[in-house]
Amino acid sequence: MVHGFRHRDAGARCRHNAGARLAGQCQFTHRGLEEGDQLKTTLRLELPALSLLHADSRVAFALLDRQHAVQRTGELPLAELAAAVPPSRVEGILHPADSVLTTVTVPPLPTHRLQAAVAGAVEPMLLGDIEGLAVAHGARAGDGSVSVAWAAREPLARALRLLADSGLPADALVPAPLALPLTDTGWTVLVRDDHVVVRTGPQAGQVWAIDPFATTDADPAVAALLPALEQDAPGVVGWIDPQPAGWPELSATERRALPTGARWQGVLPGWSLALADLQPHRSGRSPWRQPAAWAAGAAAVWLVGLNIHAWQLGREEVALRQRMATQVKTAFPDIPVVLDPLRQAEQRRDALRAAGGEFGSSDFLPLALATTQLLPAATNNVVALRYTQGELKLELVDDGIGMVAKAGAAPPPAPTQQQQATHGLRRLMQRREQAAAPAPTAAPVASRMEIDPAILQRAEGLGLQVTHDDGVWTIRSAASAGQDGGTRPAPQGGGVRIQQDNPRR
Higher pLDDT, 114 or 500: 114
Mean pLDDT of 32-52: 74
Burial string for 456-468 (b: 16+ CB within 10 Å, else e) reads bebbeebbbbbeb
Model confidence at 11, pLDDT cuts 50, 70, 90, reads: very low
* Mean pLDDT of all residues in 173-180: 94
| Range name among 181-185, 389-393, 416-420, 473-477 with the lowest pLDDT average | 416-420
Residue 212 has what pLDDT?
74
Higher pLDDT, 71 or 438: 71
Judged by DSSP in three states, 332 sits in coil
Burial of residue 314 (CB within 10 Å: 0-12, 13-18, 19+) is exposed
Mean pLDDT value across the chain: 78
Task: Give the pLDDT score at 287.
Answer: 64
Q: What is the pLDDT of residue 161?
A: 93
Residues in a beta bridge with 61? 45, 74
| Residues 456/461/467/473 CA torsion (nearest 10 deg) | -100
What local confidence, expressed as pLDDT, does residue 279 receive?
A: 87
At residue 406, the pLDDT reads 73
- Burial of 228 (C-beta count, 10 Å sphere; 0-12/13-18/19+): middle
Confidence of residue 491 (pLDDT cuts 50, 70, 90): very low
CA angle 207-210-213, nearest 5°?
Answer: 160
Positive or negative, the CA dihedral 487, 491, 497, 501 is negative
Q: Is the pLDDT of residue 387 over 60?
A: yes
Burial of 61 from C-beta contacts in 10 A (0-12 / 13-18 / 19+): buried
Residue 99 Cα to chain centre, angstroms: 44
Using only C-alpha atoms, what is the Rg of the chain?
Answer: 51
27 DSSP 8-state letter: -
Confidence tier at 305 by pLDDT (50, 70, 90): very high
Collapsing DSSP states into helix, strand and coil, what is residue 415? coil
With beta carbons less than 8 A apart as the criterion, state whether 396 and 374 touch.
no
Specify which residues 386 forms β-bridges with. Answer: 393
Contacts of 388 (CB under 8 A, 6+ apart): none
Residue 478 contacts residue 497 (beta carbons within 8 Å) = no
Nearest to 81 by CA among 117, 56, 48: 56
Positive or negative torsion for Cα 117, 120, 123, 125: negative
Rounded to whole angstroms, the Cα distance separating 144 from 1 reads 46
pLDDT, one tens digit per residue, over 408-435 is: 555 555 555 555 555 555 555 555 555 5
Higher-scoring residue by pLDDT: 26, 67: 67
Rounded to an integer, the average pLDDT of 116-139 is: 90
DSSP string computed for 1-17? -EE---HHHHHHHHHH-
Query: At 226, which amino acid appears?
Result: L
- CB neighbourhood size of 51 (10 A): 12
pLDDT at 497 over 70: no
Q: At what angle do helices 341-356 and 289-331 cross, to 10 degrees?
A: 30
129-138 mean pLDDT: 91
pLDDT attached to residue 205: 92
Which value, to the nearest 10 degrees, does the dihedral of the CA atoms of residues 161, 191, 231, 141 take?
Answer: 30
Residue 308 is predicted with a pLDDT of: 97
Who contacts 43 (Cβ-Cβ below 8 Å, separation ≥6)? 61, 62, 63, 64, 81, 85, 87, 89, 90, 91, 168
The pLDDT confidence band at residue 62, using thresholds 50, 70 and 90, is: very high
Q: For residue 96, what is the DSSP state?
A: T
Cβ pair 51, 155 in contact under 8 A: yes
Instruction: Mean pLDDT check: name the lowest of 86-95, 152-161, 282-291.
Output: 282-291
- pLDDT score recorded for residue 56: 92
Range name among 102-106, 154-158, 212-216 with the lowest pLDDT average: 212-216
**pLDDT(143) > 70:** yes
Weakest mean pLDDT among 16-30, 36-50, 180-194: 16-30
How much is the pLDDT for 415?
53
Instruction: Specify the range with the lowest mean pLDDT, choosing from 208-222, 437-451, 456-470.
Output: 437-451
pTM of the entire structure? 0.51
pLDDT tops 50 at residue 370: yes
At 501 the pLDDT is: 47
Query: Pairing state of beta strands 254-258 and 195-201?
Result: unpaired
What pLDDT does 118 receive?
92
Of 496, 267, 251, the closest CA to residue 373 belongs to 496
* Residue-wise pLDDT tens digits, 248-298: 777 778 888 889 899 999 999 999 999 988 988 654 456 677 789 999 999
Amino acid at 82: A
Q: Which of 68-77, 191-200, 269-278, 302-311 is the most confident on average? A: 302-311
pLDDT for 432 equals 56
Q: Is the pLDDT of residue 244 over 90?
A: no
Asked if the model's pLDDT at residue 306 lies above 70, the reply is yes
Beta carbons within 8 Å of 215's beta carbon, 6+ residues apart: none
Taking only the tens place, the pLDDT of each residue in 328-369 is: 988 888 888 888 888 888 888 888 776 665 555 457 777 888
